[in-house]
Chain A
Amino acid sequence: MEVFEVLWPGPLATVQDLGRFGYQQYGVPPSGAMDGLALRTANRLLGNDECAAGLECTFSGPKLRFLNDTLMTITGGDLAPLLNNHPLPMWEVVQVRKGDMLSWRGMRTGCRAYLSVAGGIDIPMVLDSKSTYLRSTFGFGGLEGRALRTGDVLRSVPVSSGKLEHLIGRKVPRELIPEYKSFAEIRVILGPQADHFPEESIATFFDSEYSITPESDRMGYRLEGPEIKHKGKADTVSDGVPLGAVQIPGNCKPIILMVDRQVTGGYTKIATVITPDISTLGQMKPGDKIRFHEVSLSQGQRLLSAFQKMLDPRFLPLKACPERSRRIRREGG
C-alpha cells in the first residue's frame, strides 16, 4: 500500500536494509544501514523481518505526508522528529493516520535516524537487497540508486491490521537505548598490514585523538590528527577491503572504510574496527572525535558474540529472515 509521500527530501534520506552480500567478488559494495543496530531495532519493534527496509535519514529527515494508516518507529540518532508539529517519541511504536505530517527539527545527538513502517518499505530487490548504492551516474538499489526526492511516493509491505494493534506503544527499555556522544573510543584489531608501520607509528595511532572531517560519507570517514608514517611506501598491491578497515594513504592520515566502500584498494591497512563499533561510528559526524583502542582477536570476537546475543530476540520478538540465512549458505557453492 502507498505509505507516504515526500514533501521535502531533507539533506540525505535513502532506503536501506542490512546490506547486499555475496557480490563483493563482482566489485559491488555491500551498502546497507550505517548503523545496523538502530535499523534492526526498529524492525524488531514493529515485528518486521530482520532484513526489512527502512529510511536512513542523515543530519535531518524528509518531510512526509502519510497516505494511509500505519505503525511507525524512529530509532538511531535524535534528529528531533515531529508528528503534526508535536515531538514524537523515538525507539517506540507509534500509530500514524492518513494525512499525518512528519517533520524534523534537526540533529540533537547522533546523525542518522532510521524510520521504519509496519511491514517495511516495499521496493524491488536488486541483487538480493533493497539497499541504495548511492552514485550519481550508476547507483542502483533502493529508489534507482538515488536519495529521496520531493514527490516520491513510497509503498509498504502489507500487514494484516489484526497483527498490529498490540504493538502500539511497544518500546525499547531506556537502559538499552544507545547513547550517542561526540567522542568515542573505537575498538580495533591490528592488521592485516600493521607490519608496514614502525612501532612509533602504532603508538601514535593508539595515543592520539582523531577528528572526523567533513570529507566523510557512506564510503568512508577521513580523519584529521597526528600522522601515521609508514616503514616504506604507502601503497601496496591492491587487496580486499573489509568493513571498518583503517587505511593510511600517502598523506599519513587515517581513513575508515564504511558500507559503500570500494571493495578492493591499495593503501596499507593498519587495523580493522570491530563490528559492534561500526554502528557507533555510523552515528558520528564531522567534528566528532575518536580514539582507537586496541583489542586482540579473541577479545574482539568475544565482543562480537556479545553484540550478536544483544541482537537476539531476548527483549523483543524478532521474525527470522529466510533470505539472509540462504545468502549465508550460498557462498559454499
Chain B
Amino acid sequence: MIYPETRYLVAGDQNMVVEFGDEVDITLNQKVHNMVSAIKQARFDGVRELIPTYRSILVDYDLSIISFAALQDKLKALENRLDSSSLPSPREVEIPVVFGYDEPYESDIEFVAQYNKLGSVQEVIELFTSGDYLVYMIGFLPGFAYLGGMPRRLATPRLDRPRISIPAGSVGIAGEQSGIYPLDSPGGWRCIGRTALRLFEPSWQPPSLLQAGDRVRFVSIGPEQYEHIALKVKEGTFKMKVTSQS
C-alpha cells in the first residue's frame, strides 16, 4: 500500500530512508521519481547521494552540514508542494529487441507462451511490445533496470536453477517484472529476447543507458537488423531513440 503518511527512517549515522509505501506499484514508484527530481532541483546542502528504489529513496547526507531532523523538515515541506511543482518530463527510450534469440541458451519464449496459455510466440511478442514500461529502479547489477508495466498475461516465474551466465542485452521476465541484463552475469530470469544496445559502460557519464524514472518501449526487430545495430553500437555510431514526453 501507499502509506497515508510518508515514513522517514534512520538507516545508520549518514543515511535516511524516505519510504512512501511497501509494494511494487507504478503510482507509488512515480512518486519516488517525482520526489527525487524535486530534491535534485532544490539542491539541499549536505545531500550527497540519492538512491531511488521501488518504494523509497535512500538519502546519503552529510551530518556536518545537516541534521536528520532538519533534513526531514525540508523533505516534508518539499513533499507537501510536490503536486504543484513543475518537474522535468521523463525520457522515453526505445529498445529494439530480437525475440526468441537467446544463444547460447534456448530461448524461454516458448515456455512463456505455454505457461500463460497463449496461442503462439508471436502473441508473446505482441503483448510484450504493447507495454508502456517504467524503470522502477536500477540495482542488482550496475545498470540493471527493473521495469514495471509488463502486461500481466506474460507473468512467468523465475527459473528453478539460475543460469551460470546470461549474456548482456538479454531481456527477461521474473514474475510480473521484466528487466534487461546489462552485463554477462548469472541469473534466473526467463529470457525471451536480446537487444544489441549497450546498457552499461563505465566510461560513459552517466554510466547507465537507463535511469530510474525513464519510460521504455520495446520494438521487435529481425536478426539482420540486430546484427546491423550490433555493428553500429560497436563502431559507436548507433543513434538511440530518446524522446522527452510532454
A264 contacts B143, CB within 8 Å? no
Q: Within 8 Å CB of A116, what residues of B?
A: none
| Mask of B40-68 contacts with A, CB within 8 angstroms, 1/0 | 10011101111111111110101110011
The chain A residue with its CB closest to the CB of B206 is A26
A301 at the interface (CB under 8 A from B): yes
A9 to B116, CA, bound (A): 52
Residues of A contacting B211 in the complex (Cβ-Cβ under 8 angstroms): 25-26
Q: Are B202 and A332 in contact (CB under 8 A)?
A: no
User: Is B178 positioned at the interface, with any CB of A under 8 Å from its CB?
Assistant: no
Contact with B along A290-309 (1 / 0, CB 8 A): 00000001001101110010
**B35 at the binding interface (Cβ < 8 Å):** no
A residues in contact with B24, CB < 8 Å: 237
Known contacts A25-B211, A262-B140, A331-B40: A127-B12 contact under CB 8 Å: no
- Which of under 10, 10 to 19, 20 to 34, or 35 or more describes the interface residues of A? 35 or more
Nearest chain A CB to B52 CB, angstrom units: 6
Mark out the residues of chain B between 122 and 153 whose CB falls within 8 Å of any chain A CB in the assembled complex.
137-144, 146
Q: Are B184 and A240 in contact (CB under 8 A)?
A: no
A333 at the interface (CB under 8 A from B): yes
Q: Are A305 and B64 in contact (CB under 8 A)?
A: yes
Interface size on B, residues (CB 8 A): 56
- Closest residue on chain A to residue B43 by CB atoms: A332
- Determine whether the beta carbon of B50 is less than 8 Å from that of A243: no
Say whether A239 contacts B60, CB under 8 Å. no
A190 to B133, CA, bound (A): 36
Give the segment of B15-23, B86-94, B188-196 that binds chain A: B15-23
Which A residues touch B183, using CB under 8 A? 137-138
From the candidates B9, B14, B43, B137, name the one contacting A275 in the complex (CB within 8 A): B14
Cα–Cα distance between A21 and B10 once the two chains are bound (Å):
20
Q: Is the interface of B mostly helix, strand, loop or mixed?
A: loop
Query: Which residues of chain A have C-beta atoms less than 8 A from B51's C-beta?
Result: 24-25, 240, 263-264
**Chain A residues within an 8 Å CB radius of B142:** 26-29, 138
Q: Let me know if A242 and B139 touch, CB within 8 A.
A: no
B138 partner, pick from A26, A188, A303, beta carbons under 8 A: A26
* Inter-chain CB contacts under 8 Å: number: 158
Q: Is the CB of B138 within 8 A of A243?
A: no
Residues of chain A with a CB closer than 8 A to B47's CB: 331-332
Cβ contacts under 8 Å, B67 to chain A? 301
User: Given A21-B49, A239-B19, is A26 in contact with B13 using a C-beta cutoff of 8 Å?
Assistant: no
Q: Are A238 and B139 in contact, CB atoms less than 8 angstroms apart?
A: yes
A180 located at the interface, meaning its Cβ lies under 8 Å from any Cβ of chain B in the complex: no
A192 touches B9 (CB 8 A): yes
Task: Report if A236 contacts B (CB, 8 A).
Answer: yes
Q: Residue-by-residue, is A252-295 near B (CB-CB < 8 Å gives 1, otherwise 0)? A: 00000000001111000100111100000000000000000000
Interchain CB contact under 8 A, A27 and B140: yes
Is A331's CB under 8 angstroms from B202's CB? no
> Knowing A26-B211, A126-B202 touch, does A304 contact B11 (C-beta < 8 A)?
no
Residues of B within 8 A of A242 (CB): 11-12, 14-15, 58, 60
A245 contacts which of B11, B54, B63 (Cβ < 8 Å)? B11
Residues 64-82 of B, flagged 1 when their CB comes within 8 A of A and 0 if not, give 1001100000000000000
User: Could you list 6 examples of A-B contacts with CB < 8 Å?
Assistant: A27-B141, A239-B56, A243-B12, A262-B140, A262-B141, A332-B44
A residues at B contact (CB < 8 Å): 21-29, 126-127, 137-138, 140-141, 188-193, 236-245, 262-265, 269, 272-275, 297, 300-301, 303-305, 308, 327-328, 331-333
Apart from A27-B182, A240-B57, A242-B15, what are 13 other A-B pairs with CB-CB below 8 Å? A25-B49, A26-B211, A193-B9, A237-B23, A238-B54, A239-B17, A240-B11, A242-B12, A242-B14, A301-B68, A308-B64, A328-B48, A331-B49
Instruction: Identify the B interface with A (CB < 8 A).
Output: 9-15, 17, 19, 22-24, 40, 43-45, 47-58, 60, 62-64, 67-68, 137-144, 146, 165, 182-185, 200, 202-203, 206-208, 211-212
